[in-house]
Structure 1
Amino acid sequence: MSKQYVYFFSKENADGSAQMKDILGGKGANLAEMSRIGLPVPPGFTISAEMCDYYSRHNNQYPPELEGQVKEALERLEKIRERKLGDARKPLLVSVRSGAAISMPGMMDTVLNLGLNDETVLGLAEETSNPRFAWDAYRRFIQMFGDVVLEIPHEKFEHTLEEIKREIAKNKGIENAENLKQEQLNKVVPDTALDVEHLQELVKKYKKIYEDFGKKFPQDAYEQLWMAINAVFGSWNNERAIKYREINEIKGLLGTAVNVQSMVFGNMGDDSGTGVGFTRNPSTGENKLYGEYLLNAQGEDVVAGIRTPKPVDKLKDEMPKIHEELLKVKQILENHYKDVQDFEFTIERGKLWMLQTRTGKRTAQAAVKIAVDMVKEGLIDKKTAVLRVQPKQLEQLLHPTFDPEEESKANPIATGLPASPGAGTGKVVFDADTAEEWAKNNEKVILVRIETSPEDIGGMAVSRGILTARGGMTSHAAVVARGMGIPCGAGAGEIFVDYAKKQFKV
């Protein structure tokens, strides 16, 4: 009998469990575990991290049995979802995501909405009676596939989107539309302002970008799937992932697993949305549901910081039933895992879906409070509590903070969200490479970005503080800074960052 490389998960059955992190990665193991404990998880399958190890040791080739195992799991998924990959009338769409045994936020690759092409987009539009949603999903997929799988610079797609938004702004009669900074433009013309015709035009222009780089967008959904799987396995050895492992002293892992999961959509209208939550506040340790969400959006909109999301408390007013469900999920996750969980969720037409959970990264102050509180609540014993506070975190407790008296006299020039606590001073730099270069010469630096991306990891690690114009408390900058104990102010919308002039102004 051939070795098992593919593990299925659904409400009916999960081959894996939380104990299998070494081979299924944290994401795959926890998707299986959440399925087992009855949480609403879209079905899918995980290709084990053993395959990543095989792939890198065999010159990017797979053993012959893998294709058959993937095909079998895909057919099982198609049967459960009652739709087929590449079918013109009822297409199955999937996400393809990485997941190593130790969480590495944003360092490896993700592709959403896979399975869309020129035919299936029409089928999806007809089936949902929502052409705007279908074309929005398609333009997102073409952009993400081009960036992640074919390594076309994502700025090319962003620039094209910006051009269309400027055109909309001009047609709306918005003054000085031509010269609006990107943050201002996104406020007056958010992504949701693009109608079907704009999105169709974007798709056409995005395909032209492929051609400019000598590439072709693949229309075959099965080909898309294998190209995405290759890209995720390949991302284990990309520069930012290697650097993250070095900085965080992560050693001895097989590689990343690949999770192929049925898509659920947060961008189907105002009864849909996406968010990131923590079962407790990762900055302070307070025992209260914490997180952010966006309505009519997909997951990358929250973590990438492209739109500044709303605090999860506001869901009480906008979707009280979903807020109630999230409070129940918080309790189930903590009772089961006995630790703070960082989870992703999607709301599709008023139904809540859980997309992942993992142990939540937290500040040193939060780690101490959470450990003490969980002993008092009877969730963990004292020995476990002591082990929950890492030696490096104790060092963070001694990090500088502002003198409260001096701070009360100071006149701030702008405010953002307190994504990671502490205080830092230094010379402002606007890109990660400069931050690393200056830090080597013992210069103290503050990294200022419109928003951070995983490529910035090296510069973030050497900075005394991080400031971003966009993003929220669960954006990439916030999560990474908290994990590293670096002060971070996120979503300071009053600042305008000009990379060309190397300056920011308020």
Structure 2
Amino acid sequence: MVDKKWVYLFNELEQAEAYVGGKWDSVRGLLGGKGANLAEMYRIGLPVPPFFTVTTEACNAYTAGGFQFPAGMWDQELAALKKVEEASGKKFGDPSNPLLVSCRSGAKESMPGMMDTVLNIGLNDETVKGIAKLTGNERFAYDSYRRLVMMFGSVVLGIADEAFEHPFDSYKEKKGYKADTDLTADDLKQLVETFKQVVKKEKGFDFPQEPVEQLKLATQAVFGSWMGKRAIDYRRAESIPDTLGTAVNIVTMVFGNMGWDSGTGVAFTRNPATGENKMYGDYLLNAQGEDVVAGIRNTDPIEKMGEKLPEAYQQFMEITAKLEKHYKNMQDVEFTIERGRLWMLQTRNGKRTAAAAIKIAVDMANEGLISKEEALMRVTPKQVDAMLHPQFSEDGKKVAKKEGRFYATGVNASPGAAVGQVYFDADKAEQMAKEEKQAVIMVRPFTKPDDVHGMLAAKGILTSEGGATSHAAVVARQFG
């Protein structure tokens, strides 16, 4: 009897297609949207780091089996890891040339920020020294390590974000630093030790030093996040069935935080708020992807990348044009530039407002990318309803400015007007909307995926930090 195949490598897309009978929708069902699209990008010759995908079937078997890996899955994951080592020329856990990986969720239907991701898996007290020596960049190595301890502690071990954020912010304040990038290598070494102490205090055991254990625990955490509250809330709002499960993608790390010739970003091939046929996105130099999508750092518009990293920007524009033509839809992409070299980490059909959906459908039909019939089917009844939502008139805004009632401006993640009582907490916003039938505006420094129930209940959302491509903005646009 042939063992059940739970894991597919980056170059095994044809095997996945054969297993499901050739339909692309079924491939997405097996590998998740992220895994399927990463494999497709690799197949059409785009720069994608070596990776493998653990299937949605494995997730469902894990849940059904009392949160235990199905027979053979973990052995297949370790075998796939060996193939990724060969493709990358690095070895997992080897201090002299360490392979680091990310562990990312990826369901068939896109659920931005609703499930878990862990970056820099494979770092420990020894491999961090190897990374520092190999790159000649001690600051980068310890910045990556403090991120792992912080993210692993929060996502995998279930420690509250605040347990890490408070000592982090206090340390920066004590040193007089404004930005994360002001931290030196010595500062970051100190923060790694502080964060390890947080893990010990909160959990009663040390941060795991064995890379294979880190990988196993992260895989379990991503599978487990499929049944997390925020993921379930999101699925209920979008009518996504619980039976789909999530895939797990183990991807070779590429680093946007290696210096000022490195960076990371998120972009849409057309404006997701208006539908304008112009690249729309955010990026950060010397950062990792979570800094952009989590909305925890203020970003720069994508076009500025052309001034700082012109060659990578030119290649990025060519690749995204190719992706839009390939998928015949507006794409939402994530990318990283490591020492001037561009890597594509994700592509998917982008979430958009109702107004943008109509404009993009009409424009793509006029451009000959899709038929008029297809354009018509791309606009849903829900989007037509959203077009009837209130808007501020230009005349009204002018009068408000003249009369001194125009208080502030910001980046509009989605067009539209909202009126309501302000609440600063997602639980309270949901409670007042449901129990008191109040119109609610939720105000936060930045929203986290755990705030999705408050976002769903609110008429409007206002944040003081983050960009227009953060997960919060993506979700807000989607829900009108």
Does TM, scored on the shorter chain, surpass 0.5?
yes
The 3-state SS of whatever aligns with 1:314 is: helix
> What is the CA–CA distance in structure 1 between the aligned matches of 2:358 and 2:157, rounded to whole Å?
44
Check the 8 A contact 1:8/1:16 in 2, yes or no. no
CA positional deviation for 1:253: 3.6
Runs of 4+ with deviation above 6 angstroms: none
1:279 to 266, 269, 273: 269
Structure 2 partner of 1:326:
316
> What is the CA–CA distance in structure 2 between the aligned matches of 1:14 and 1:71, rounded to whole Å?
21
Q: Is the counterpart of residue 484 in structure 1 residue 479 in structure 2?
A: yes
The 3-state SS of whatever aligns with 1:420 is: coil
1:417 to 398, 411, 418: 411
Structure 1 partner of 2:187:
198
Check the 8 A contact 1:109/1:235 in 2, yes or no. yes
The 3-state SS of whatever aligns with 1:457 is: helix
Q: Is the counterpart of residue 463 in structure 1 residue 464 in structure 2?
A: no
Structure 2 letter corresponding to 1:415:
T
The 3-state SS of whatever aligns with 1:410 is: helix
CA positional deviation for 1:476: 2.0
CA positional deviation for 1:462: 1.3
> What is the CA–CA distance in structure 1 between the aligned matches of 2:124 and 2:349, rounded to whole Å?
36
Equivalences for 1:135-174 in 2 at 5 Å?
135-169=142-176
> What is the CA–CA distance in structure 1 between the aligned matches of 2:408 and 2:14, rounded to whole Å?
49
> What is the CA–CA distance in structure 1 between the aligned matches of 2:392 and 2:70, rounded to whole Å?
57
> What is the CA–CA distance in structure 2 between the aligned matches of 1:117 and 1:281, rounded to whole Å?
41
Check the 8 A contact 1:47/1:258 in 2, yes or no. yes
Larger displacement relative to structure 2 (209-218 or 43-52): 209-218
Check the 8 A contact 2:259/2:286 in 1, yes or no. yes
Structure 2 partner of 1:6:
7
Identity of aligned residues (%): 55
Structure 2 letter corresponding to 1:212:
K
CA positional deviation for 1:444: 0.5
Structure 2 partner of 1:313:
303
Q: Alpha-carbon deviations, 1:279-334, whole Å to 9, x = none?
A: 11101111111111000000000011111111111112111112211211121101
Q: Is the counterpart of residue 189 in structure 1 residue 183 in structure 2?
A: no
CA positional deviation for 1:66: 1.1
> What is the CA–CA distance in structure 2 between the aligned matches of 1:394 and 1:326, rounded to whole Å?
33
CA positional deviation for 1:254: 2.5
Structure 1 partner of 2:50:
43
Structure 2 partner of 1:498:
none
Q: Is the counterpart of residue 59 in structure 1 residue 66 in structure 2?
A: yes
Structure 2 letter corresponding to 1:137:
S
Check the 8 A contact 1:16/1:32 in 2, yes or no. no
The 3-state SS of whatever aligns with 1:455 is: helix
Check the 8 A contact 2:104/2:118 in 1, yes or no. yes
Structure 1 partner of 2:345:
355
Check the 8 A contact 2:52/2:80 in 1, yes or no. yes
Structure 1 letter corresponding to 2:251:
Q
Structure 2 partner of 1:217:
207
The 3-state SS of whatever aligns with 1:23 is: helix
Check the 8 A contact 2:267/2:332 in 1, yes or no. yes
Equivalences for 1:324-473 in 2 at 5 Å?
324-411=314-401, 412-440=406-434, 441-473=436-468
Check the 8 A contact 1:101/1:253 in 2, yes or no. no
Q: Is the counterpart of residue 30 in structure 1 residue 76 in structure 2?
A: no
Check the 8 A contact 1:16/1:29 in 2, yes or no. no
> What is the CA–CA distance in structure 2 between the aligned matches of 1:290 and 1:79, rounded to whole Å?
36
> What is the CA–CA distance in structure 2 between the aligned matches of 1:325 and 1:399, rounded to whole Å?
39
Structure 1 letter corresponding to 2:465:
R
Q: TM-score, normalised by structure 1?
A: 0.90
> What is the CA–CA distance in structure 1 between the aligned matches of 2:249 and 2:139, rounded to whole Å?
28
CA positional deviation for 1:383: 1.3
Number of residue pairs matched by the alignment:
466
Structure 2 partner of 1:182:
none
Equivalences for 1:75-154 in 2 at 5 Å?
75-154=82-161
CA positional deviation for 1:477: 1.9
Structure 2 letter corresponding to 1:239:
K
Check the 8 A contact 1:303/1:474 in 2, yes or no. yes
The 3-state SS of whatever aligns with 1:358 is: strand
> What is the CA–CA distance in structure 2 between the aligned matches of 1:50 and 1:157, rounded to whole Å?
34
Q: Alpha-carbon deviations, 1:345-379, whole Å to 9, x = none?
A: 00000000000011100000010010001011111
1:233 to 194, 213, 223: 223
CA RMSD in angstroms comes to: 1.2
> What is the CA–CA distance in structure 2 between the aligned matches of 1:333 and 1:210, rounded to whole Å?
42
Counterparts in 2 of 1:255 and 1:306: CA distance versus 1, 3 Å: same
Structure 1 letter corresponding to 2:457:
V
Q: Alpha-carbon deviations, 1:432-454, whole Å to 9, x = none?
A: 11111111121011000000000
The 3-state SS of whatever aligns with 1:417 is: coil
Check the 8 A contact 2:235/2:242 in 1, yes or no. no
Q: Alpha-carbon deviations, 1:402-429, whole Å to 9, x = none?
A: 1322211113222110111100000100
Structure 2 letter corresponding to 1:2:
D
Q: Alpha-carbon deviations, 1:135-180, whole Å to 9, x = none?
A: 00000000000000000111111111111101111xxxxxxxxxxx
Structure 2 letter corresponding to 1:27:
K
CA positional deviation for 1:7: 0.5
Q: TM-score, normalised by structure 2?
A: 0.95
> What is the CA–CA distance in structure 1 between the aligned matches of 2:345 and 2:16, rounded to whole Å?
16
CA positional deviation for 1:83: 1.1
Equivalences for 1:261-272 in 2 at 5 Å?
261-272=251-262
Gaps of 5+ in 2: 18-23
> What is the CA–CA distance in structure 2 between the aligned matches of 1:463 and 1:408, rounded to whole Å?
26
Check the 8 A contact 1:14/1:32 in 2, yes or no. no
